[in-house]
Amino acid sequence: MKKTLVLTFALITACASPGIVRTGVIDSPYIAEASGLAPSALRDDRLWLINDGDSPPVIHAIATDGSPGGSIRLRNASNVDWEAIASFRLDGSAWLLVADTGDNNAVREFGTIYVVEEPALADNEETAAEPAWTISFRWPGGPRDCEAVAVDAASEKILLLSKRTVPAELYELPLRPSANDGVVTATRLGDARALPQPTARDLERAVPERNWHWQPTAMDISADGHAAVILTYRAVYYFERTESEPWTTALQRVRAVSPLDGIREAESVALARDGKSVFVTVESPQPPLYRIALHP
């Protein structure tokens, strides 16, 4: 989400919480508005990062201390409003999914998903790649703004959580639609009512106070498909599910909450490979990178 307000992150005291560690700063001139974060499926010390809309169609690699680690330029792709990136394994390979699903004004007729194989980049290596497949989709009932997207590889589903509806709405797309499907229509699964909902005062004062604390800005699903996290502007919410349970049921039970304790404009989350913490960053030039304990 675009912002005109400049925030001085050096003054943030979020790390006063023992559960929050500032691991570094994403000190790259190419990162202007970090809008999505995902763990590498190939390296424990690597994360993947994307810029918000109107930036080049490039996926950036960073180390877990924020230092630059290389990049992938997507051919035959455009960044209208990239808002999420996810990583997953499928058919023995590692993949990255980029979601061009931002729509602040709810005017876009279609959203776009790009899937590319994750390369085994050397540190600071730059490469280019063609998406292995691209999904064009529409929302049932009209456009939605969406910044929270995750992949359940076992069921070959993409989960999408709307941002501006109250409550947030959960949708799914097939991870590998048929080439003959054309533009796919997302399926609405239900509401995310387990997340804290805004009060009437929250809604009335949101614009003048610039506070939309209830809105989901990112989501991730663990590699084994048994856990998920949803990031809002206020906290990280942790969920677990049984093997046969649908996400619509599992996401009604919050198992743990990790407050952001003053971190402002948090828009990206990635489950760490240990499953006990998440990485979070914010939309700003040279953004800080945090590791936050989940305490499940």
Mean per-residue pLDDT over the chain, rounded: 91
Nearest to 4 by CA among 111, 99, 104, 79: 104
Residue by residue, DSSP assigns the chain as --------GGG--GGGSTTEEEEEE---TT-SSEEEEEE-SS-TTEEEEEE-TTS-SEEEEEETTS-EEEEEEETT---SS--EEEEEEETTEEEEEEEE---TTS--S-EEEEEEEPP-PPTTEEEEE--SEEEEEE-TTS---EEEEEEETTTTEEEEEESSSSS-EEEEEESS--TT--SEEPEEEEE-TTSPPPPHHHHHHHHHHT--TT-EEEEEE-TTSSEEEEEESSEEEEEE--TT--HHHHTT---EEEE-TT--SEEEEEE-TTSSEEEEEESSSS-EEEEEE---
Residue 37, strand partner residues:
49
Residue 222: what are its φ and ψ, rounded to 5°? -65, 160
Higher pLDDT among residues 181 and 66, named by residue: 66
Averaged over 7-35, what is the pLDDT?
Answer: 72
- pLDDT grade for 296, boundaries at 50, 70 and 90: low
Q: Which CATH class is domain 11-293?
A: mainly beta
φ/ψ of residue 248, rounded to 5: -60, -30
pLDDT in tens, 193-242: 999 999 999 999 999 999 999 999 999 999 999 999 999 999 999 999 99
Whether the predicted pLDDT of 3 surpasses 80: no
Chain centre distance of CA 119: 20
pLDDT over 50 (residue 10):
no
Q: Please write the tens of the pLDDT for every residue from 71-110.
A: 999 999 999 999 999 999 999 999 999 999 999 999 999 9
CB–CB of 230/195 below 8 Å?
yes
Looking at the predicted structure, is the pLDDT value of residue 180 above 80? no
- Indicate the range of 11-20, 21-30, 158-167, 227-236 predicted with least confidence: 11-20
Would you state the pLDDT for residue 273? Answer: 86
Confidence of residue 16 (pLDDT cuts 50, 70, 90): low
For residue 161, report the phi and psi dihedrals to the nearest 5 degrees: -120, 120
Q: What is the arrangement of strands in the sheet containing 68-74, beginning at the earlier edge strand?
A: 34-39, 46-51, 58-63, 68-74, 125-129
Check whether 6 has a pLDDT greater than 80.
no
pLDDT of residue 285: 85
Q: pLDDT tens, 125-174?
A: 999 999 999 999 999 999 999 999 999 999 999 999 999 999 999 999 99
| pLDDT score recorded for residue 29 | 86
- Measure the CA–CA gap between 265 and 83, rounded to whole angstroms: 13
Of residues 239 and 262, more confidence is placed in 239
116: confidence class by pLDDT, cuts 50, 70, 90: very high
The whole-number pLDDT of residue 162 equals: 97
The answer to whether the beta carbons of residues 183 and 242 sit under 8 Å apart is no
pLDDT per position as a tens digit, 181-195: 789 999 999 999 999
